[in-house]
């Protein structure tokens, strides 16, 4: 059985079907990209797996455990970490504290854990190591709200990594980045992959996604159009059609 299985996931918003029976598998240690034109249902798929929206039908199973339709904080404890499409730090907290929040999670549900010190030296060391890994070692004392976009994306990842995730879900991490920032992000994703982290990447930038991914799932209008290795997907006539044909901007409303 695969590590993460999306099984016939469907999501509706009112009468609108944003996601229609999408299934795919992610093996442990793989980086799988979900690509597709605007409005294809990429972010909806992502939210359904993360627990942020409840699927009308179907489910997502991580390592034998259903994660769809469960509150996000429960999934966070179960090892599902996510970043947001619109970079979304705790603005009023320092960069280091943004990461420390996730590091404390194991204690948050224990009675008596409440008054414990948030800043044990072990936690601080771990937070600083994570921030160093993503390249934010210089900004730890700054307020997160003051960071430029490229750094915010990296902070999102560091914050997600603080949950020691078994599955890292990245929602358009490359959006709005400059070339040098994108290269740094790509190198970071490769390093995380080498460390054996399983990742699901939703990405609008097809070239970026196909460069870093082991496999890709292509969505269009809420359905799975194709799935396979980057080369297969790149040369699939249906995929080329979806991107070059009428589908490109047509489905915006279904986001």
Partner 1 sequence: MQDALTALTLGSTYVLLAVGLSMIYGILRIIHVAHAGVYTIGAYVGYLAWGQTGSVWVALVGGMAAGALSGWLIYALMYRRLLEAPRYVPLIASIGAFIVIQDLLSKPWLMGSDRLAMQADPGLPSVGVLGATVSPEALYVLVVTAALLLALAVLFRRSDIGLQWRATASDRELAGASGVSVERAIASTFAVGSALAGAAGVTVAVYTESVFAFMGEVPSYKAFVIVVLGGLGAVLGPVVAGFVLAFAETLLIANAGFVLPRDAIAFLILVIVLIVRPQGLFGRARA
CB atoms within 10 A of CB 229: 12
Q: Give the separation between CA 16 and CA 7, rounded to whole angstroms.
A: 20
Q: How far is the CB of 109 from partner 1 (least distance, A)?
A: 6
Burial of 12 (0-12, 13-18, 19+ CB in 10 A): middle
Q: Least distance from C-beta 104 to partner 1, angstroms?
A: 5
Residue with Cβ nearer partner 1 (17 or 139): 139
Rounded to a whole number of angstroms, the minimum distance from the CB of residue 77 to partner 1 is 6
CA angle at 115 for the pair 111 and 116, rounded to the nearest 5°: 95
In whole angstroms, give the CA distance from residue 6 to residue 249: 26
Q: How far is the CB of 23 from partner 1 (least distance, A)?
A: 25
Q: Rounded CA gap, 198 and 62, in Å?
A: 11
Minimum CB distance to partner 1 smaller for 102 or for 135: 102
Distance, in Å, from the CA atom of 175 to the CA atom of 28, rounded to the nearest integer, reads 26
Other CB atoms within a 10 A radius of the CB of residue 202 amount to 28
CB of 142 to partner 1, least distance (A): 15
Contact 200, 169 (CB under 8 A): yes
**Which residue number, 33 or 76, has a Cβ lying nearer to partner 1?**
76
Q: Least separation, in Å, of the C-beta of 93 and partner 1? A: 6
User: Which has the closest alpha carbon to 134: 118, 119, 147, 122?
Assistant: 147
For partner 1, the closer CB: 15 or 110: 110
Q: 132 Cβ partners below 8 Å, 6+ apart?
A: none
Instruction: Summarize as ranges the residues that interact with partner 1 (CB under 8 A).
Output: 50, 52, 71-73, 76-77, 81-82, 84, 88, 90-93, 97, 100-102, 104-109, 113-119, 159, 162-163
> H/E element holding 136?
none
Which is nearer to partner 1, 49 or 239 (by Cβ)?
49
Q: Which is nearer to partner 1, 114 or 122 (CB)?
A: 114
């Amino acid at each position: 059985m695969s590590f993460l299985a999306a099984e016939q996931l469907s999501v509706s918003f009112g009468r609108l079907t944003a996601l229609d029976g999408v299934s795919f598998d992610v093996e442990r240690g793989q980086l799988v990209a979900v690509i597709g034109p605007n409005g294809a249902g990429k972010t909806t798929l992502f939210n359904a797996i993360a627990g942020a929206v409840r699927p009308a039908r179907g489910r997502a199973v991580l390592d034998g455990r259903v994660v769809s339709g469960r509150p996000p904080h429960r999934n966070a404890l179960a090892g599902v970490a996510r970043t947001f499409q619109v970079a979304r730090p705790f603005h009023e907290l320092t960069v280091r504290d943004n990461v420390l929040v996730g590091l404390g999670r194991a204690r948050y549900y224990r009675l008596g854990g409440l008054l414990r010190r948030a800043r044990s030296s072990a936690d601080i060391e771990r937070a600083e190591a994570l921030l160093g890994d993503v390249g934010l070692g210089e900004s730890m004392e700054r307020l997160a709200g003051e960071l430029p976009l490229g750094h915010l994306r990296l902070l999102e990842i560091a914050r997600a990594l603080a949950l020691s995730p078994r599955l890292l879900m990245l929602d358009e991490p490359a959006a709005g980045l400059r070339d040098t920032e994108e290269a740094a992000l790509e190198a970071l994703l490769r390093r995380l992959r080498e460390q054996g982290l399983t990742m699901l990447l939703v990405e609008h930038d097809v070239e970026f996604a196909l460069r870093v991914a082991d496999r890709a799932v292509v969505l269009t209008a809420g359905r799975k159009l194709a799935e396979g290795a980057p080369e297969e997907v790149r040369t699939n006539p249906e995929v080329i059609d979806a991107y070059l044909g009428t589908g490109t901007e047509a489905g915006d409303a279904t986001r």
